[in-house]
Amino acid sequence: MSNVALIGLGVMGRPMAENLMAKGYSVIAMDVSEAARAAVPGARPPAAEAFAKADAVITMLPEGRHVDSAYADIVLPGAKDGALLIDCSTIDVETTKALSEKAAARGLDMLDAPVSGGPEAAGRGSLSFMVGGAPKAYAKAVPLLADMGAKYSHFGASGAGQAAKACHNMICGITAMAVVEGFALADSLGLDLGQFYELCSNAAAQSWTLQNRCPIPGVAPGIPASNGYAPGFAAALMAKDLRLAQAAARGAGQATPFGAEAAERFTKFAEDGGGALDFSAIYTTLRSQPEKAETQAKSRA
């Protein structure tokens, strides 16, 4: 599978395309935005003839409705017989299952393979994939998944990968609330936030969210907070994922009160204008936009 079409070249799709090209894949990079396409130099232009030769079609789109429209417009009419369809977007289980059935009606295998890891892991090829779909399709996908990820796990039939992702991101959303509240309280108690970050990242409060999405500018290298909260993982997407988890919880009759609170908070933050910012920007609903940690430390000295 050396010919791959990648539809959706945003925060995640672009570094995924770059990683695949660096590993020798021929990548047809597709996006409704011309600017997004232009930002992936070296990719093949999105011509229909090139797309029809792709061995695998990866989608990395925001929501179910985007995947639905890409499948209706491009993927199902244009993919070659035998092409493997891998949807890496985080979307609802119902849309995933419906698209998998449409793909099967066209004789194509589709996997849901949402990811954890963010753009840094996408570029390094160290994502974690949560996969649903037929075992034979999963077996066929493993070499490609191994070039994009450090971990990949087959959870069951179509939709099982999205179910795992909903649970995973509910943990991330709740953790994010804990991190921003902890730092807001630390700031209001007059602590040095750089020192507090160092302590937490080497103690029991440590988490991926704390270390990679700490809301305080300057405390750790490369965090969105140091770049005006440019995502990263947009708050609107976090809100969407938390609502997906709530829908799953309602369907299963499982109480998830912390998840419900996080879904409500992130949805409100996104609706109030924060949706395009990294999710760590929700800190600003608790404390005013923080100064760089070192500036704070100096002003306290």
Spot the catalytic one: 165, 240, 292, 298: 165
Residues that bind ligand NAD (CB under 6 A): 7-13, 30-33, 36, 60-62, 66, 69-70, 89-90, 115-116, 118-119, 231, 233-234, 237, 241
CB 103 within 8 A of CB 76: yes
- Residue (164 or 193) nearer to ligand NAD, CB: 164
CB 229 within 8 A of CB 208: no
Task: Tell the smallest beta-carbon distance from residue 253 to ligand NAD (Å).
Answer: 25
- Residue (70 or 170) nearer to ligand NAD, CB: 70
3-state helix, strand, coil in the chain (%, to 5): 55, 15, 30
Task: Tell the smallest beta-carbon distance from residue 208 to ligand NAD (Å).
Answer: 11
Task: Tell the smallest beta-carbon distance from residue 212 to ligand NAD (Å).
Answer: 10
- Residue (186 or 214) nearer to ligand NAD, CB: 214
Number of Cβ atoms within 10 Å of the Cβ of 68: 16
- State the DSSP H helix or E strand holding residue 112, giving kind and residue range, or none if neither: strand 109-112
Q: Nearest CA to 85 among 118, 50, 109?
A: 109
Kind of pairing, strands 56-59 and 3-7?
parallel
CB 12 within 8 A of CB 87: no
DSSP-derived secondary structure for 270-293: IIIIITTSBGGGGGGGTSSPPPPH
Kind of pairing, strands 115-116 and 109-112?
unpaired
Task: Tell the smallest beta-carbon distance from residue 287 to ligand NAD (Å).
Answer: 24
Task: Tell the smallest beta-carbon distance from residue 152 to ligand NAD (Å).
Answer: 14
Task: Tell the smallest beta-carbon distance from residue 35 to ligand NAD (Å).
Answer: 8
* CA atoms within a 13 Å half-sphere pointing along the CA-CB vector of 247: 14
Q: For ligand NAD, which residue has the nearest CB?
A: 10
Backbone angles phi, psi at 127, to 5 degrees: -70, 165
- Residue (10 or 133) nearer to ligand NAD, CB: 10
Burial of 276 (0-12, 13-18, 19+ CB in 10 A): middle
User: Is 165 tagged catalytic?
Assistant: yes
- Residue (207 or 292) nearer to ligand NAD, CB: 207
For residue 140, give both structure tokens. 């066929």
Distance, CA of 26 to CA of 32 (rounded, Å): 20
- Residues identified as active-site: 165
